Amino acid sequence: MLELKNVQTFYGNIQALKGISLQIAEGEIVTLIGANGAGKTTTLMSVCGIVPPRAGEIYFEGQPIHHMPANKIVSLGICQVPEGRRIFPYLTVLENLDMGAFLRNDKAEIKRDLDYVFSLFPILAERRNQAGGTLSGGEQQMLAISRALMARPRLLLLDEPSLGLAPLVVKQIFEIIRKVNSENKTTIFLVEQNANLALKVAHRGYVMENGKITMTDTAANLMANEEVRKAYLGI
């Protein structure tokens, strides 16, 4: 469904991605783990077109998207939940969700998706008229995920959804991620520093270091791998 071929991305003169190649098949949950500064966020930004790659190719369902503007890519069915949530703090919860459906016109379907995300996160329904910035960290993450779901993406990109959240909330959010994947067949590309959690929900994983992919395998094999265990699982 998504394929990256030797993608190289720069911030000015600094090369953040040094030739990334990876594949994601439809219906999968694939995780990308790595230390801080490895280039995980940059990988997602390159896929989304927010920080377009300087070299290499990205294909979504066979179609090249590496030269497309960000808004075109979203309209193809790729939506990102950015790192640090980035909800709109002064818009209400409903308005935030509405922004997620910005490119859609089908009112009835939007309403249905709204009910769906409210069923996933009932707390958001209670807070619907509250400003996004007044929500707790966990609720903001739920809102960020729901906002992305409102775009009805076929490929959902999640950037460190566990960042700075209490373990119980993280558990809840990861359950929802799994549920969205199994119920809607939404393909999920999950970026995480918390390798333990990520490998538990994912089918396959990639390990990233200094802008390069160093390892790839099924999640179970990565969990069992000695190096991964030492470097990322702290065992």
- CB of residue 195 to Mg ion, shortest distance in Å: 14
Q: CB of 165 within 8 A of CB of 5?
A: no
Q: Residue from 15, 75, 184, 196 that binds other proteins (CB under 8 A)?
A: 75
Name the amino acid, one letter, at 47: V
Residue 20 phi/psi, 5-degree rounding, is -100, 135
Residue 37 — φ and ψ, nearest 5°?
85, 10
35 near other proteins (CB under 8 A): no
Comparing CA positions, the residue from 95, 88, 40, 60 lying closest to residue 210 is: 40
36 near ligand ADP (CB under 6 A): yes
Considering only residues 22-41, where is the footprint of Mg ion by CB under 5 A? 41
Ramachandran assignment for 5, one of left (phi > 0), alpha (psi -120 to 50 degrees), beta (any other): beta
Q: How far is the CB of 144 from ligand ADP (least distance, A)?
A: 16
**What is the DSSP code (8-state) at residue 39?**
S
State yes or no: residue 84 binds ligand ADP (CB under 6 A): no
Asked if 67 is part of the footprint of other proteins (rule: CB under 8 A), the reply reads no
User: Which 100-139 residues touch Mg ion, going by CB under 5 A?
Assistant: none
Q: What is the footprint of other proteins within residues 123-142 (CB under 8 A)?
A: 125-126, 128-129
Nearby residues of 185 by Cβ (< 8 Å), 6 or more positions away: 26, 27
By CB under 5 A, residue 186 contacts Mg ion: no
For residue 88, state whether it binds other proteins (rule: CB under 8 A). Answer: yes
Distance in angstroms (rounded) separating the CA atoms of residues 211 and 20: 7
Q: Compute φ and ψ for 80, nearest 5 degrees.
A: -110, 140
Q: Which is nearer to other proteins, 100 or 211 (CB)?
A: 100
Residues 135-194 that bind other proteins (CB under 8 A): 147-148, 151
Does position 14 bind ligand ADP by CB under 6 A?
A: yes
Q: Which does 57 bind (CB under 5 to 8 A by kind): Mg ion, ligand ADP, other proteins, none?
A: none
* Identity of the residue numbered 42: T
What is the full DSSP assignment across 40-107?
A: HHHHHHHHHTSS--SEEEEEETTEE-TTS-HHHHHHHTEEEE-TT----TTSBHHHHHHHHTTT---H
Using CB under 5 A as the binding criterion, the count of chain residues that bind Mg ion stands at 2
How far, rounded to the nearest angstrom, does the alpha carbon of residue 186 sit from its chain's CA centroid?
A: 11
Tell me how far, at minimum, the Cβ of 193 lies from Mg ion, in Å: 8
Interface positions with other proteins (CB under 8 A)? 48-50, 69-71, 73-75, 79-82, 86-92, 94-95, 98-100, 102-103, 114, 118, 125-126, 128-129, 147-148, 151
Interface positions with Mg ion (CB under 5 A)? 41, 83
